Amino acid sequence: MSSTPANHAIWARRLSASGCLSLTDPNFAIYLDSIACVGGLRSEFRFPRKECKSNSQQEAASNNTESINQTGTVEEEPNTEDESNACVYLCGNSLGLQNRRTAEMVLAELDVWADQAVQGHFVHSEGRNWKNMTDLVNPILARLVGAAKSTEVACTGSLTTNLHILMTTFYRPTKERYKILCEANCFPSDLYAFTSQIEMHGLDPKEALISLTPRPREFTLRLEDIISAINREGQSIALITAAGHQQGCIVGWDLAHAIGNIPLELNDWQVDFAAWCSYKYLNAGPGAIAGLFVHENWTSDPTKLGGPHGRPRLAGWFGHNPATRFQMPDQYEPMRGAGQFVHSNSDVLSVISLYSSLQLFWSYPGGMSGLRARSEELTGYIEMCLQGLSSYVNPQYAVDYPDSLNEQQSSRARTVGFTIITPSIPAQRGSQLSLMFLPSGKGLVIKIARQLLELGIVADEREPDVIRFSPVPMYNSFEDCRKTVEALNSILETQNLTSAVSS
């Protein structure tokens, strides 16, 4: 929920019903959690301990061998299952938490490897033979991205690798049409991929890569500016995709921060291709196997891809027809659908980790729609609590902070302030709020993030100015949000950050 007058009224009614007077009252957060449809999923996840350390502390600890006993084995960690010992974890946009089924299911595959070795590809004690392991996850991924059928998706590779594979097919520049339109300051791996693809075709990225930037004194792209750029060069995925198609463009999406976060309908929206990672909102673990989508419009006609007249497509043996794959014929016969973009046997341990997590999405009442509704509640709550802090700065004053404040505002302004640069309209954002700390360019976030961690709050910092909070509906609570706001406020109110500002 955004902080509109209507939503202010909703929160006011909830406050009244709870008997509390403040959004940040601990009893109000407890009340909200008591009436929320949590579905019991929080208990399905393992949270970091409050003893979790900053990066520098972790590096120092990794060089300390005192925890290794005389037999050369590592001493066991104490039991830390107590919820009171858990960190507040609002970093699922960077790495999702491990669910409690994962270790058991991964260990089961290790047992199959130990007991059956190569036969595990064909005969599996749990009924999950390795050669068809991705058949477990593809139907669930298809539901999450809004594919018409499971053959529109493939569980394979990594995000950047999949982008390269897909762009080899779909980026076919001509003299008249050779430009790639993308968001400025996107994740650098995407930018590296786009630049290298352009260079592979002998083109100059300065001419062929169009990077969209927000308007002056704004922090996010407007939908109308994206569509205008598409129309000129020849926030709704459907609208942007349609605008691209009207100009004859191929439209692909990086869904790293979308899959498992917001409902998607890629088939209905006529998206040509998409790629994603699985370690954020899909909770599949660090560096987990990724996925891709190719619309059936491209794969239903076998002449469109590969062969002498179709678009080129990189091939590998696990993209071959599974009926004859292990006969290893010389002639390549592509699978139906997106599977033909798969090259190699998948990492079984990574796939089973993903599968253990994906099963939880439909354990939640309402599935993805239910999770999205809860996400809007959590994000709306933490947004309103943050906006109530005295250190909050309206975005219109953020660019020139603190000079942009009038005399009355300046008198109550903190040395360090923050604004929220994420769109306030729920339909234009996922579960993440990006806070930009002011004055900008002072490198404040490292110190603030370290102090948050010391208070047991795990957030995601992006130098030089941004810290991101992401309340994930599957495992975060209103109390998590309240504690985060309380901790941030205590840092900004009581900690001396003047030296960082003046340096």
> Residues 313-335, buried b or exposed e (16+ Cβ, 10 A)?
bebeebbbeeeebeeeeeeeebb
Q: What's the sign of the alpha-carbon dihedral 127, 141, 327, 113? A: negative
- Angle at Cα 274 formed by Cα 273 and Cα 279, nearest 5°? 160
Size (the chain), residues = 503
Tell me the CB-side half-sphere exposure of residue 362, using CA atoms within 13 A. 9
Whether residue 312 is annotated as binding a ligand: the answer is: no
Long-range contact list for 359-367, CB < 8 A, 24+ apart? 359/101, 359/140, 360/41, 360/44, 360/99, 360/283, 360/474, 361/140, 361/144, 361/260, 361/474, 362/140, 362/143, 363/39, 363/41, 364/39, 364/41, 364/473, 364/474, 365/37, 365/39, 366/37, 367/143
Whether residue 371 is annotated as binding a ligand: the answer is: no
Whether residue 188 is annotated as binding a ligand: the answer is: yes
Whether residue 345 is annotated as binding a ligand: the answer is: yes
Whether residue 159 is annotated as binding a ligand: the answer is: yes
233 with 208: CB under 8 angstroms?
no
Whether residue 231 is annotated as binding a ligand: the answer is: no
User: Hey, how many other C-beta atoms are within 10 angstroms of the C-beta on 71?
Assistant: 6
Whether residue 195 is annotated as binding a ligand: the answer is: no
- Residues at the binding site are 159-160, 187-190, 254, 257, 279, 317, 345
- Residues at the binding site for pyridoxal 5'-phosphate are 159-160, 187-190, 254, 257, 279, 317, 345
